Structure 1
């Protein structure tokens, strides 16, 4: 957070320095118009278009993060349900199911999450653990009717867990389009640069305007950057649902 504030302040001060240098080297003449209608119109259009790019980018990264949060919650909830349902299975199968789902959760929290925080894709080992759990979850021949129903429900929850995991893997690979990043950077530079295209007679007013606009644009772009990867950064989705259910 400190680095973000430092970058925002640094960009604002740099823009202010440019304004002061520009006003010192190329001051407005006594008979010059401080505003031009064409420059004002173009500047306004660039600002409106850039606002659309900012909004689209923000919605995109926020939707990805929200989807990741939902997938993690669904995955942890399904794992918790499987462990609870194991109490209604035959003793041997119940023990295998509990051990299998707890091993899976440990793998997710201790191996996969650190990797995702570094930007890596979840390993295939998680699917191996789920396939093993699915193979051990078949209904034994001597099971009672209640145990058969419980086993079927466990398999249904296992399928839900697999779907949620697949969604989490997709979220881990999501990132903002390079086209939008290009629009964010170039549009921000154009928006700030156009503030220098027509003058303001009061230098202090001009400096405050440019500093405020530059700081706001820099902060918004950095915010989008922090939310661009849902499992890393200041707004990362954590493994809280797993730790709440399993205490790992």
Structure 2
């Protein structure tokens, strides 16, 4: 934080030094007007800075949400593959393993998804998955086919576990520190800049300024509202896991 403060002070110091040097050297002319070159240059740069920060504040959560959505499909697909592979397990273990997979996916949809809006996963989900992997690992296959099925199920469960870990990272992901604060700060400066430059808008000239302020306010609120992958307008839903439950029912009905 101190580094940020020092960088701001250094930049302001450069401006102050340049102003003193040019005044002593008697270079240039006084600029006291709201529409002068100083105000015009500063206004353009502030607007560009706000647009840059705003773009980053939108793109980062959008990218995170898109990655999180793809990962839910990866995890649910791995669960379906494990369900398929379990068909060749010993008969007395088939129902147990498939039931465990169905319970895990149903838990994610019904119980865990609301918790992810708070930036975390339910620890009991990992416990369920670990229990299922332990059950499969403890199986004693009687044939080579059953041994291959056991290995395949464990591989798919490992993929589910890896995707779950990524889902936990996606749920906890937030924009870079200070980005939202910088978005708010630059937005406020852009709104009040005409007044800081010495302009005094009156009458009809306040209408476009008010419209700009309203749009900036909405944009700043939007950047905060989409900052989490599983909450807000860009929230990733459990559709992929719901599809997996339907696939489970179809496979069970056909096998």
**2:136–2:150: 8 Å Cα contact kept in structure 1?**
yes
Instruction: Describe the superposition over 1:177-221 as per-residue Cα deviations: whole angstroms up to 9, x where unpaired.
Output: 3411110111000011113335488842x3343133223322222
Establish whether residue 49 from structure 1 lines up as the match of residue 49 from structure 2: yes
1:195 is matched with 194
Return the TM-score normalized by structure 1.
Answer: 0.79
Residue-pair matches, total: 215
After TM superposition, the structure 1 = structure 2 runs for residues 21-32 of structure 1, keeping only pairs within 5 Å, are none
SS in 1 for 2:233: coil
1:156 is matched with 155
Matched residues in 2 for 1:35 and 1:135: separation? 73
After TM superposition, the structure 1 = structure 2 runs for residues 1-248 of structure 1, keeping only pairs within 5 Å, are 35-117=35-117, 119=118, 121-138=120-137, 140-196=139-195, 197=197, 199=199, 203-204=203-204, 206-247=205-246
Matched residues in 2 for 1:180 and 1:40: separation? 26
Instruction: Describe the superposition over 1:133-181 as per-residue Cα deviations: whole angstroms up to 9, x where unpaired.
Output: 1111137444322222222111111111111100111111112234111
1:5 is matched with none
Matched residues in 2 for 1:65 and 1:91: separation? 41
**1:116–1:122: 8 Å Cα contact kept in structure 2?**
yes
Matched residues in 2 for 1:140 and 1:40: separation? 75
Matched residues in 2 for 1:124 and 1:201: separation? 57
Q: What RMSD, in angstroms, separates the aligned Cα atoms of the two structures?
A: 2.3
**1:35–1:200: 8 Å Cα contact kept in structure 2?**
no
Matched residues in 2 for 1:240 and 1:138: separation? 30
Matched residues in 1 for 2:241 and 2:168: separation? 16
Q: Which has the higher contact order (CA 8 A, sep 6+)?
A: 1
Return the TM-score normalized by structure 2.
Answer: 0.77
Q: Which runs of 5+ in 2 are unaligned?
A: 1-31, 250-255
Q: Which one has the largest radius of gyration?
A: 2
